[in-house]
Amino acid sequence: MADTIKKKTSHRKTAAKKTAKSAGGKNLVIVESPAKAKTIEKYLGSHYKVLASMGHLIDLPKSRIGVDVDHGFEPEYLTIRGRAGVLKNLVLEAKKSESVLLASDPDREGEAIAYLIGKHLEEKIPGLPIKRVAFNEITQTAVKEAVSAPRPLDLSKVDAQKARRVLDRLVGYNLSPLLWKKVKNGLSAGRVQSAALKLICDREKEVESFIPEEFWTIEALLKASRSTVKADLVLYMGKKPQLGNEEKAMRTVAALADKPASVSDIRSVERLVRPKPPFTTSTLQQTAANRLGFTSKKTMQIAQILYEGVNLGSRRSGLITYMRTDSTRIAESALEETRTWLAEHYPAQLPKAAQRYSAGKQSQDAHEAIRPTSLAYTPDSVASYLQKDELKLYTLVWERFVASQMIPALLKVVTADIEIGQGVFRTSASAYIEEGFYKVIKLSASKEERASHNLALERGQQLGVESIEASQHFTQGPSRYTDATIIKALEELGIGRPSTYAPTISTLLERYYVSRQAKQLTPTALGRTISEILSEFFPEVIGAGFTAQMESLLDKVEDEKADWVQAMKEFYFPFKKKLDEVMSTLSSKKGELDEVTDIVCERCGKPMVKKLGRFGFFLACSGFPACKNTKSIPIAVCPKCGGDIVERKNPKGKRKIFYGCSRYPACDFVTYDKPTDTLCPKCGWFLVEKHDKASGTHKACINPACDYLHSRDDDKGDD
């Protein structure tokens, strides 16, 4: 800090002498979290005292915009309410210290935290030596090396964080009042979250407009020596079979029945499967979601624990490198350690040279990829010290990194064509010639990736036909976003950064703009309303292009290639002018979403009104405020007792939202599948929305005794 703030005066130099510490005093190290403080203090010994700021201590005020738009967009920084005691304690400890080392996280946010704390300490204790240290991993070697070579604060990185903070304030604290005035009090809008919400809403429109089409497939179960082989019909009468309904499928099955089967062709190819690069923040969150079922928030919380350090018996150490990164770069020292380890444990799978992975176009490449701090910490060796989910995530990181430095896998893929009458059936199998990097992949490989089967067939071989059966399917429409797919979309579009993916999803869920059902992200009525207004009047602000452009600007500010104040001027004043126009011309939508229903209030007899609240639609008595009766909206008729099916919430358990009868406990009918407003044409029960890998998103009857499945023809009938 002393090296970066140049306005030094002679009286400060005098003050520095007066505040000089006596020889033998401790050095104060300030980190962000208590867990990290505990780990680092053990490494540094008795000459250092390590304290935690527990995140930001100084920030913009919550009650107002806190940005002086007329004077260089200078932010107004204040001590955060409730954090003054922590800041005061740091000042008291700093006064007793020989020097202060600011050791917050090695990213923009961490640099800003260090800058603001350092600036405050310098104002309180003139002349105190204040330096910045940063480490990509919390190991004894990395920490001691960083402390032995402190550096000045990176003010360009501080400016980039300041620009992001100011930009978010300018957008959020201007759009939110518009929503309060025109829609409903208490709403909020944000730059990145609004762009993410638009993606989710646009996808929902695609899901709703998709009409599934019926198709059938035909499969033969064949006997070959002692084994059975499944094969799919790929050609019929020389053409690809067009089986659009049950009648065509059954006619084809009948034509193929009682015909002999023989292998008409067999061919094999070798396929090379290369290992994937080590994890970035995005790919870690995606893989943890797909393989472990973790939300992005849970993944980052566990990764933070693994980074900050865990007790490993007699010692404490961080197990992974910094978990907020968009780079696949690996330190040379880590590559050397990995190759040495592989030479000992998997010499046959060690490539001739280390594998180096190129960074993406939008990668900042400020930090390494996410990797283990030491390969000696194998998942088995640390299993007894970790919680179950911690071990799962650490295993993903360890396996992915080690595999990235191993040779590719080589598979032999054998495909056979089998003639039955005028039909050609096809089957294939793959087997490993060289297992390669899959030698270390256990948890992170799917069953399909681990499968290895030989196809022991020969050209001209006669096979026994055990059965030929037809199966009904429906084309799958676009899938709703999950944590994994929305993160992938945000990354590809350049919306946000590794540190913002998880908070963005969490914010949308907490504000009930989006709900998570069966791991899918679905916009609520409230979320849709907000997105529609912002998309109509501010498409340039919440569009993916603008958000990505702003992220690029922040990168340029950090690289000292752009003036952030000038960029704010170019954005803000046209934006504010448009905002003022919309504020004065847009008619209020308050109450427009309210809808009088034919449901009568059981307390006063007046009609109930469907209203939009923070947590979606609900029913309220039109006699308010004299009658304050409210209740959930009936979604369907209970098939058990004729009561109303309403949405309910369970604060515990994985599946927090379920649907039950309003007459509970007299009626205990419950379903976890979302009811629709459509009745089953076969039995009269209501249809529910289901999702599975075989049929995608579709509707099915809630009646367990009914086999009705929603189809395109049924859609037409409903019209």
What are the residue numbers of the active site?
322
H or E element that contains 578: helix 564-585
Residues 656/660/663/664 CA torsion (nearest 10 deg): -50
C-alpha torsion sign, points 21, 25, 30, 34:
negative
Phi and psi at 512, nearest 5°, equal: 60, 35
Which residues face 520 on adjacent strands?
Answer: 482, 517
Residue type, 480: R
Please check whether residue 607 is in contact with residue 600, taking contact to mean a CB–CB distance below 8 angstroms. Answer: yes
List the one residue out of 192, 100, 79, 184 whose CA is nearest residue 147: 100
Distances 82 to 77, 324, 542, 694 between C-alpha atoms, Å: 15, 28, 33, 52
Give the DSSP per-residue string, 646-715.
EEEE-SSSS--EEEEETTTTT---EESSEEEEEE-TTT-PEEEEEEETTTEEEEEES-TT---B--HHHH
Strands 462-474 and 214-224: antiparallel
Calpha distance 148→142 (Å, rounded): 10
What tokens does 204 get?
């929902």
- Tell me how far apart the alpha carbons of residues 395 and 397 are, in angstroms, rounded to a whole number: 5
Amino acid at residue number 543: G
Residue 95: CB partners within 8 Å, gap ≥ 6? 19, 124, 125
The rounded distance, in Å, linking the Cα atoms of 101 and 114 is: 9
**Which helix (DSSP H) or strand (DSSP E) does residue 379 occupy?**
helix 379-382
| CA–CA separation, 394 and 377 (whole Å) | 10
Cβ burial of 612 (10 Å; 0-12, 13-18, 19+) is: buried
Beta-carbon count within 10 A of 496 CB:
24
Residues 6 or more apart whose Cβ sits within 8 Å of residue 367: 106, 107, 136, 321, 322, 324, 325, 327
| φ/ψ of residue 164, rounded to 5 | -65, -45
Residue with tokens 């009648």: 247
Question: In 3D, which of 289, 674, 681, 247 has the Cα closest to residue 481?
Answer: 289
Q: What angle do CA 441, 447, 453 make, to 5 degrees?
A: 100
Q: Does residue 379 have a cis bond before it (omega within 30 degrees)?
A: no
Say whether 431 sits in a helix, a strand or coil: strand
How far is Cα 370 from Cα 326, in angstroms, rounded to an integer?
A: 9
Structure tokens at 601: 């209030």
Q: Which own/partner contact pairs does 549-555 have at CB distance under 8 Å and 24+ positions apart?
A: 550/167, 550/191, 551/362, 551/494, 551/495, 551/496, 551/497, 552/362, 552/494, 553/163, 554/108, 554/160, 554/163, 554/164, 555/160, 555/364
Query: Cα–chain-centroid distance for residue 664?
Result: 36
Cβ-in-10-Å burial (0-12, 13-18, 19+) of 632 comes to middle
